[in-house]
């Protein structure tokens, strides 16, 4: 079973693990207007209150909570899910690193067990 087959079967369980990973939630140009509108604020207000310059200094990223998790993670849920950034929408399909996702780990274990039979 190849990687594509695993991703075909991937369904997010909503555990919030990837929202707690260290690293930036990078924002695309089109994310800004969508999230600002969702929060009922202007793009300028959203940028001032909820973004920071990414380490690369070439892009904006969402602010973090003190523990490094995304500012918009409330409990295990994304509080802006319907307007979440492109980076979050493409997890894990467009990510080169997705270690530690319980659902992906479960599928990988299943795959190993199938290969052994």
Contact set with ligand SF4 (CB under 6 A): 19, 25, 70, 72-73, 78, 80, 84-85, 88
Give whichever of 1 and 54 is closer to ligand SF4, judged by the CB atom: 54
CB of 112 to ligand SF4, least distance (A): 28
Q: What is the C-alpha to C-alpha distance for residues 1 and 49, in angstroms, rounded to an integer?
A: 45
Q: What is the C-alpha to C-alpha distance for residues 89 and 93, in angstroms, rounded to an integer?
A: 9
CB of 19 to ligand SF4, least distance (A): 3
Give whichever of 80 and 107 is closer to ligand SF4, judged by the CB atom: 80
CB of 10 to ligand SF4, least distance (A): 15
For 43, the 3-state DSSP assignment is: helix
Q: What is the C-alpha to C-alpha distance for residues 106 and 89, in angstroms, rounded to an integer?
A: 20
Q: Does an H or E element contain 74, and which?
A: strand 73-74
Give whichever of 5 and 7 is closer to ligand SF4, judged by the CB atom: 7
């Amino acid at each position: 079973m190849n990687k594509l087959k695993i991703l075909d079967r991937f369904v997010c369980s909503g555990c919030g693990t990837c929202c707690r990973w260290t690293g930036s939630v990078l924002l695309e140009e089109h994310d800004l207007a969508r999230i600002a509108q969702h929060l009922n604020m202007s793009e300028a207000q959203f940028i001032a209150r909820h973004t920071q310059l990414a380490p690369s200094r070439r892009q904006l990223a969402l602010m973090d909570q003190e523990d490094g998790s995304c500012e918009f993670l409330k409990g295990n849920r994304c509080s802006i899910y319907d307007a979440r950034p492109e980076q979050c929408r493409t997890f894990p399909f467009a990510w080169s690193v997705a270690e530690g996702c319980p659902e992906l780990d479960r599928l990988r274990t299943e795959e190993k067990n199938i290969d052994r039979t």
